[in-house]
Structure formats: C-alpha cells, structure tokens
Amino acid sequence: MRPVQSAKPVKAGKVLEAVKSVKSVKSVKSVKAILSLAMALYLAVSPAAVPVQAADEPFVATVEVFQQVMDNHLSKPSEKQLVQGALEKVSKLAREAKNVSLVYSPEDDTLDELTRRLSEWSAKAKLNDAILNRAAIEGMLSTLEDPHTMFFTKDELKQFQDGVENHLVGFGFRLRFQNGLMLIREMIPNSPAAASELKKGDQLQGVNGISLRDKTAEEAYALLRGEEGTEAVLHVYRPAEKRELQVKLKRAAITVPEVEGQLFSGSKVGYISLETFGSEAAFQFRDKLFQLERQSPPLKGLVVDLRDNSGGYLSTARDIASLFMEEGLLMHTTNRNGVEVQTWVRNGRDIDYPVRILVNEGTASASELLAGALRDHGIAQLIGTKTYGKGSAQQIVPLSDGDALKLTLHEYFTPKRTKVDHLGLAPDIQEEDYAAQAVRALHSLGVDRFRLAAENGDTVVNGIAFPAVEPLFKQDEAGNWLIRRAVLSSLIGETKAGSEEYVAVHPYLQTHPTLQLAIEQESPVLTYQVR
C-alpha cells in the first residue's frame, strides 16, 4: 500500500465534503476543517508495512497494534504506557456498559500481563473479544496523544481510502462550516444534490428531523452518512429567500473531481482549486495548469487554492511541486531515532510567472508541505490565515483479517527547516475574510480591474465564485447598500482598522472615483480600477 499523510483535521469553519463516508475529523476553525476527516500522506515503505502474525488468540489485534506502536511510533512509547492505557479503557468500558468493576495493578507493564488480564476480564464482564480488542487498542492509542494514529477495521479502511481518493457515497454537496453554520458551498456534478432544488448558499439545519444546531462536524457527518440508495430528508434554510424547505435525497456513489480552475475574467491570472491530494490529483492539476498556460497571451500569474485541503499522498505533492520547479528539496523528515531523510523534486520544470497560494486553518498535511516548499524556493507567497499545523507523516500498516493501523512514523520540515507540526505556516499576507483573500492575491499579482458581485450566496470576484457564510452586500433600513468591510478594504487597499462588519458603500464612492456601484438584475455590482 502507499504511504499517506494523515487525514483531514477539522476546525470550525472549514469546507467539508458533506458526503464522505468516513474520515478522521480534525476540528477546524475555518474548514477545507475536516472530519476536517483526516487524510494521510503516504511517505515511505518501512518495516512496519509487514503484517504481524501474532499467535496470542483471541487478542491478536491488540498484540499486533501493541508491537507496531512499540517498534515504530515516532514518540517511542513505553511498554507500561500502552498496557496501562489499554487496561484503563477496558476497565472503564466494563464499568459503564456492564456495571462490572475490573481491577488491575499499576505494576502491569508487559504485553503478557495485558493479554492475561483481557482473558480474565472477557469472562468476568461478558464482553466479546471484538469489543475488548477495540477498547484495548483505543486505550493504547489514546496514550500517544496523536490523533493521526488510528486503528481501522477492514470496512473502515476502505472508507478511509475512498475518502482520500474522493470516492464516496452521499448526496453530492460540499459544506463550509463557519460561525456555527453549515453552508452548502458547492454541488458535485451529476449527483443527487445537483439534480435537486438545493442551491449554493443554502444552510443545512437538520437531517431526518434531527437538528444540526450545536453539532460538531463529526456528529453532523454521522447523520449525513449512509448506505448507497438510502434516503434522508434535509432541513434547509435559504437566506436569499428567507424561507425554510425540506428536500428528500437519495444517497449515491460519487467520484468528486479533485481539481477545478479557470482564468479570472479580464486578466491573464489563472485560478486552480485543489480539493485533495489523491492519486489522480497531480494529473488533473497538470492538465488544468497546461490548459491555462496554452491560452494566449501568456499566463501572468497563478492563484492556487489550498484552503480546507487536508492532504493526501506524498507522491502527489511531489508531482505537483515538479510543475513549478525543475529540481529542488521538497522536505526534510526525521524518524523516532532522529535520522533525517531528504525528499527531492527531480526532472520537473521551472515557471516564469508568480504564484499565490490561498491557505487557512483547514490547510493541512500535504497542503502545508507543498505550500511550504514552494514558498521556501521563492516560487509562491501564502495569503490567508495560519495553516492547521500537521507536520507528521503516517503509514498504513496492514494487520490480520484485513484490519489496518495508520501509524505516525515521521515528522517533516520545510526545505528551510521550518517546523510545521502543531504550529502551522504563517501567511505572508494575513487576511481573515474568505473572499478578501482572493482579492488580495489578485492585487499582489498586479491585477488592476475588479468586479465584485453576489450570486447564490457566493461572493464572485472577477468571474470566480467563492463561498460566503455572510452575504457580500446588505441594505440598511433606509435602503442604502452596505458591503463587507474586509472585502472593501482589501479592494481599495484601506489599511486603517475598523470594527464594523459592514460599511456603507456610498461614502467610498465619493472618495474613490474609480469605485463604482451598479445594479444589475436587481443585484449590486461593485467595480474598481486601480490607479
């Protein structure tokens, strides 16, 4: 199997794929945050990739995981640490599920003592072996304080791999989690959602009568998941029409494109959004990039959107990096013994135009790796907010019966040895607002003409739509048009701080002659010419 970098971490505000079957979730503050669902960057084949043939039945899974973690985990855990963690978890399970007290000694510190206790407790607490194995494994892994090391059953492994590859069962829309809201930000082509009355900008409020208010990303996705062909009733609020509606959808198997892109209107600046680092992403990215480059006149700049992208395969990150540099260091990795290995890009190609990479709290793992490498080589600048901070790399280790362990083996650093894990990458240009990030990127690339509009809940910047939890424009009680301050400030280069979320457009029209407001099809459109 191929090494992967850990799945999407989730934070509040991240764009999440609302139809993925299973993903490890990272709590995201802004999301593309994931279930921010964790994705793994597969690094290198190590001795850990060979299944252990354990003879200690019926707790073979516990023994296998114990041995793999002891021999390979980056943190070098102690034997006692894992044993005590397993016993504590099983004891707690028996107390809560069966009201049975299972006592163990603080001196239990060997694998033999662990399996002996489990054998004794199996009969005493009347817990089956599968439950005991799972509890013991979860207890061991909890002591690592590493959310990216996790155990998968055979079915869970398939779901995880499908998530990395963007193969999933669901309704066919993507969500953005922000400010406690779940906003439908995109419909996947040829999906049940795309064929329904749902629209971009709708707020998902419930599933089958169960409210999603105050639900975590994990809880929301648990309600959205289901088998192919099953139905659910979605409870939706549409802000544009100020009404609620219920939509019945049937879940279907869906393959989601990993790359989307086009030129910003009125310029020779390209835009490419990368959803994941799956096995096809590098090919899709290459094809889209070459398509943009073939147009005449030549490309003057490129905006790469890695917001809410939680990672994927290392080979994909390296292949995409090779589209920007002929040769160069991609990263440094160190293992549990401090041994350092360098990963290089070879046989690539150089580019002659500047690159801007949009990042946020949902930019994780392979996304941080690519962004850090291109910045260190002077190819790109980062615009947005600090990234998630997942600088560790995992490998899928096959176990007996088709189960698997995703195990942290390495920590990685950027070419200039910037530490990423638990810290993230600070952007070169700090900007909180999602649409304003795109405006600042265009400004930094020399774009001097802008057209901002609102469409289906999105903010449209020079022809490209970006999801927005709050609308770009509002009207006050007197009918005057207001605009989000962050977007306007980024547009006109205003540096003074302001606390208002929205400001009146009219005063700025007086002070900035090239700023113009028009009404098209009953909706405001703001244009601006940089002097």
Instruction: Print pLDDT tens along the chain (531 aa).
Output: 344 443 333 332 332 233 332 233 233 333 333 223 233 333 322 333 444 444 447 899 999 999 999 999 999 999 999 999 999 999 999 999 989 999 999 999 999 999 999 999 998 988 888 999 999 999 999 999 999 999 999 988 888 887 777 777 899 988 876 667 788 878 888 899 999 999 887 899 999 999 998 877 668 878 898 989 999 999 999 987 889 999 999 999 987 788 999 999 989 999 999 998 999 999 999 999 999 999 888 999 999 999 989 898 889 999 999 999 999 999 999 999 999 999 999 999 999 999 999 999 999 999 999 999 999 999 999 999 999 999 999 999 999 889 999 999 999 999 999 999 999 999 999 999 999 999 999 999 999 999 999 987 789 999 999 987 788 999 999 999 999 999 999 999 998 767 899 999 999 999 999 999 999 988 999 999 998
Within 8 A by CB and 6+ apart from 422, the residues are 389, 391
DSSP-assigned states of every residue in 232-274: EEEEEEETTTTEEEEEEEE-EEEE--SEEEEEPTTSSEEEEEE
Within 8 A by CB and 6+ apart from 269, the residues are 263, 299, 300, 301, 302, 303, 442, 445, 447
Candidates 313, 308, 168, 178; CA nearest to 252 is 168
Q: Is 355 left (phi over 0), alpha (psi -120 to 50) or beta?
A: beta
Task: Identify residue 476 by its one-letter amino acid code.
Answer: D
DSSP bridge pairs for 34: 26
Within 8 A by CB and 6+ apart from 363, the residues are 32, 306, 307, 308, 309, 371, 384, 387, 388, 425
DSSP bridge pairs for 206: 211, 235
Residue 184 contacts residue 16 (beta carbons within 8 Å):
no
Q: Look at the alpha carbons of 6, 12, 15, 21 in this order and tell me if their dihedral is positive or negative.
A: positive
Residue 448 CA, chain-centre distance (Å), reads: 32
- Dist CA 228 CA 503 (whole Å): 47
**pLDDT of the residue at 414:** 98
**pLDDT of the residue at 497:** 66
